[in-house]
Amino acid sequence: MNAQIDHALEEIRRFRPSPEFAAQAVADEGLYDAARTDRLEFWADQARTLLQWEKPFTRTLDWSNPPFAKWFDDGELNVAVNCLDRHVDAGLGDRVALHWEGEPGDSRDITYAELTDEVKRAANTLIDLGVREGDRVAIYLPMIPEAVVSMLAVARLGAIHSVVFGGFSADSLASRIDDAEASVVITADGGYRKGRVFPLKPVVDEALEKSAGSVRNVLVVRRGENEVDWNADRDVWWHESVATASNEHEARAFEAEHPLFILYTSGTTGKPKGILHTSGGYLTQAAFTHRNVFDLHPERDVYWCTADVGWITGHSYVVYGPLANGATQVLYEGTPDTPHPGRWWEIVEKYGVTILYTAPTAIRSFMKLGRQIPHEFNLRTLRLLGSVGEPINPEAWIWYRHVIGGGSIPVVDTWWQTETGAIMISALPGVTDLKPGSAQVPVPGISIDILDDDGTAVEGEGGGLLVATEPWPSMLRGIWGDPERFKETYWEKFGDKYFAGDGARRDEDGDIWLLGRVDDVMNVSGHRLSTAEIESSLVAHPWTAEAAVVGASDETTGQAVVAFVILKASQVSHVNDPMEASEELRRHVATQIGAIARPRQVFIVNELPKTRSGKIMRRLLRDLAEGREVGDTTTLADTSIMEVISAQLR
Ligand code: PRX
């Protein structure tokens, strides 16, 4: 990673917006001026212009009890109405909301009127299942329209959704269901991935056997047509309930600070955090950034964000931002390379996609396959490209712009987090001169700084820790059920400033370069994983005595999970071959947490490098995993240990 970053910092290319693009751009310099003149009035203005309030707010921000912010708190709105009904009422009912493409090639176009109708039916079904304001509903679905419908139906009722990515295991699902005490789970029999049906309902069944028992009903969409067990007291088919439910549903307005969703993300401990987002502020910033960062012209654009709704990018930039803005978008169920490696580009051509938002890891995989694959398709409709999830190296940025974008269209690198709810740092297309590799500048209305370890602001050029110095509308409102952890994790280090957990550097032009996490959080293919969570999964295996996990840099996935494991002496004689043990442990992590957490490598070793106080020195293990010369070992209890471990890896 370091070599990559050094290289990135030498990047000197700059790209001015073309006059044609600038002339039609949604954003302009005036946004920065307005936000600078009166930041709170700027956000109040965005909230009033972009959203429909049933009861207008009179207070913009209440920061009297930091770090618990309240935005627009005496206003009332319904989030689903903002994403649906109001567009239909404005005469846009026939506009396509979703061009859905299934992996096997089936597809559906769904208009705003149809989506509104379906959401009302689903809301009525949820009411029949006893879901009320404030109740939690877990959603464990593939990328099918019903995922969007479910989220909005829950929001419409003022209930709280907790979407769990379909790649997570039964254990992970169970712990999320229990933490939120969900009363209903919405799932599918299965979904398509890499040309096969992957089962979901059986995973839910298994999770519910393990869970504490808050779930009353499971609502099941038929998608994969795989066989599933059925519990008639608990399970309800979507096509038998939602399809026959009434499409009349009067939505009520909720307070702006009414909880909208919980989304679990990895932190520095083994237990995932339930990040809590609320309604008015979240939707304001999601809509504002979606419009201005992606230069959205809803009447003519076809937007496609490739993220799964199981992640925050799918929440803010597949569901809430685009639908609040009345956008037409593509929703794709499957993987980029099924049934052929040009699948994404075929979809861009088929729907005439104009705006594409994806992750650097995907771009790097396409780079590896070569430009001839995208070149087989007509990508000339594209006019803006976005990147998210991890630093994009300048080579990938340039390739994206040239090979996918045809050489002259803007690429915006957007920095944000599950916790921030919406984009915080990004260029504004048509306004900012673009710099490959740098996320560049805070979006209007957002205050970002770089501090050194004791909290002093780094003046001018220099590196340190990234913080948000002022509250922002879509900020997390807490960690579900754990206000103390919320304070400790983000606010203890710098008092009233939000500590993001990322290192960053400001260059001579004032542009910000993200340098990766400074804590024990890894970023694999733009997904957050915790070293502690994978370590505790490894240690839960009967063979393991001790485990240490590091994120090693990886050409395609950004980082990769590499584990070092000491086997229990009592087990060593049963394990015939270290390769076998390593395979078994990789499989174990995938089953316990989910395939995304499966280590790239598990090294079986006899020792781990520890300081005199017994702390594992992951830095040294990272050196090994990345094939580098091992760094300073003087603080090790036994300085010869690294040679022993390296010898074992050879
Ligand atoms: O380290 C940063 C990295 O992803 C982390 C947030 O992960 P998550 O909550 O899963 O959200 C990902 C999608 C918003 C951050 O702490 N990250 C995200 N975007 C960028 C990034 N690192 C560098 N550049 C980015 N554009």
Ligand 1 pocket mutation pick from 5, 438, 475, 502 by most atoms within 8 angstroms of CB: 502
In contact, 619 and 609? CB cutoff 8 Å: no
Q: What is the pLDDT of residues 578-611, one digit of tens each?
A: 889 999 999 999 999 999 999 999 999 999 998 8
176 is in an annotated binding site: no
DSSP codes, 220-239: EE--S-------TTTEEEHH
Q: What is the pLDDT of residue 520?
A: 86
Residue 485 labelled as part of a binding site: no
Mean pLDDT of the chain: 95
| Distance of CA 307 from the midpoint of ligand 1 (Å) | 13
pLDDT for residue 645 = 87
303-317 pLDDT, tens digit per residue, is 999 999 999 999 999
Q: How far is the CA of 148 from the centre of ligand 1 (A)?
A: 23
- Measure the CA–CA gap between 111 and 475, rounded to whole angstroms: 31
Chain centre to alpha carbon of residue 285 = 16
C-alpha 44 – ligand 1 centre gap (Å): 27
| pLDDT at residue 642, as a whole number | 87
Q: How far is the centre of ligand 1, averaged over its atoms, from the C-alpha of 105 (Å)?
A: 31
End-to-end CA separation in angstroms for the chain: 23
**Amino acid sitting at position 642:** M
Pocket test for ligand 1, best of 420, 514, 515, 518 (most atoms within 8 A of CB): 514
Q: Give the residue whose CA is nearest to atom 4 of ligand 1.
A: 389
Ligand 1: atom nearest CA of 528 is 10
Helix (H) or strand (E) holding 36: helix 29-37
CB 384 within 8 A of CB 295: yes
Which of 277, 309, 363, 415 gets mutated to test ligand 1 (max ligand atoms within 8 A of its CB)?
415
Give mean pLDDT, residues 386-405.
Answer: 95
Average pLDDT over residues 230-255: 98
- Binding site annotation covers 121? no
Whether 279 contacts 258, CB under 8 Å: yes
Burial group, residue 276, by CB count within 10 angstroms (0-12, 13-18, 19+):
buried
Look at phi and psi of residue 440 and say left if phi exceeds 0, alpha if psi is from -120 to 50, else beta. Answer: left
Mean pLDDT within 163-184: 97
3-state secondary structure of 8: helix
Q: What percent of the chain has pLDDT above 90?
A: 88
Strand partners, 191: 198
Confidence of residue 4 (pLDDT cuts 50, 70, 90): low
Q: Could you tell me the distance, in angstroms and rounded to a whole number, from the CA of residue 9 to the centre of ligand 1?
A: 19
* Residue 162 is assigned to a ligand binding site: no
On whether 611 is known to bind a ligand per the annotation, the reply is: no
DSSP for 84-124, written as a single string: THHHIIIIITTSEEEEEE-TTS-EEEEEHHHHHHHHHHHHH
3-state secondary structure of 462: strand
418 CA: nearest ligand 1 atom:
9
pLDDT at residue 563 is higher than 80: yes
Is 577 flagged in the annotation as binding? no
> Quick one: average pLDDT of 520-537?
91
Ligand 1 binding site (Cβ under 6 Å of any ligand atom): 265, 312-313, 388-391, 413-418, 439, 500-502, 514, 517, 523, 528
- For atom 18 of ligand 1, the residue with the nearest CA is 389
Of all protein residues, the one whose alpha carbon is nearest to atom 13 of ligand 1 is 389
Single pTM value for the model: 0.94
Give the model confidence (pLDDT) of 212-239 as tens digits: 999 999 999 999 999 999 999 999 999 9
Over residues 619-630, mean pLDDT: 91
Three-state SS letters, 340-379: CCCHHHHHHHHHCCCEEEECHHHHHHHHHHCCHHHHCCCC
In angstroms, rounded to a whole number, what is the distance separating the alpha carbons of residues 555 and 302? 31
- Measured by CA distance, the residue closest to atom 11 of ligand 1 is 417
Q: What average pLDDT does the segment 188-200 reach? A: 97
pLDDT band at 332 (very low <50, low <70, confident <90, very high): very high
Q: Give the 3-state secondary structure of residue 434.
A: strand
pLDDT classification of 3: cutoffs 50, 70, 90: low
For the domain bounded by 19-505, which CATH number is listed? 3.40.50.12780
Q: What is the band of 575 on the pLDDT scale with cuts at 50, 70, 90?
A: confident
136 is in an annotated binding site: no
Using the mean position of ligand 1's atoms as its centre, give its distance from the Cα of residue 514 in Å.
Answer: 9
* Band of residue 636 on the pLDDT scale cut at 50, 70, 90: confident
Q: Is 320 left (phi over 0), alpha (psi -120 to 50) or beta?
A: alpha
User: Does the annotation place 103 within a ligand binding site?
Assistant: no
Distant-in-sequence contacts of 37-41, Cβ < 8 A, 24+ apart: 39/445, 39/447, 39/470
> pLDDT tens digits for 10-54?
667 899 999 999 999 999 999 999 999 999 999 999 999 999 999
Q: Is 502 annotated as a binding residue?
A: yes
Question: Looking at ligand 1, which atom is closest to the CA of residue 416?
Answer: 14
pLDDT in tens, 447-501: 999 999 999 999 999 999 999 999 999 999 999 999 999 999 999 999 989 999 9
The percentage of residues in the chain with a pLDDT greater than 70, rounded to a whole number, is 98
Atom index in ligand 1 nearest the CA of residue 311 equals 10
Q: Which two tokens stand for residue 194?
A: 């890499």
What tokens were used for 433?
């001169």
| CB contact at 8 A, 68 and 477 | yes
Q: How far apart are CA 401 and CA 17, in angstroms?
A: 13
| pLDDT of res. 1 | 43
Name which residue sits closest to atom 8 of ligand 1, judged by CA: 417
Question: Rounded to the nearest whole angstrom, what is the distance from the C-alpha of residue 390 to the centroid of ligand 1?
Answer: 5
Q: Which of 384, 458, 394, 446 is nearest to 415 (CA)?
A: 446
- Give domain 525-649's CATH number out of 3.40.50.300, 1.10.10.10, 3.30.70.20, 3.30.300.30: 3.30.300.30
| Mutation probe of ligand 1 site: the residue of 317, 416, 533 with most atoms within 8 A of C-beta | 416
- Domain ranges (residues) in the chain: 19-505, 525-649
d(CA 520, CA 532): 7
Instruction: List the residue whose alpha carbon is closest to atom 24 of ligand 1.
Output: 391
Beta carbons within 8 Å of 270's beta carbon, 6+ residues apart: 530, 532, 533, 535, 536
Distances from the Cα of 579 to the Cα of 133, 548, 564, 596, angstroms: 52, 18, 13, 21
What residue owns the CA closest to ligand 1's atom 26? 415
137 is in an annotated binding site: no
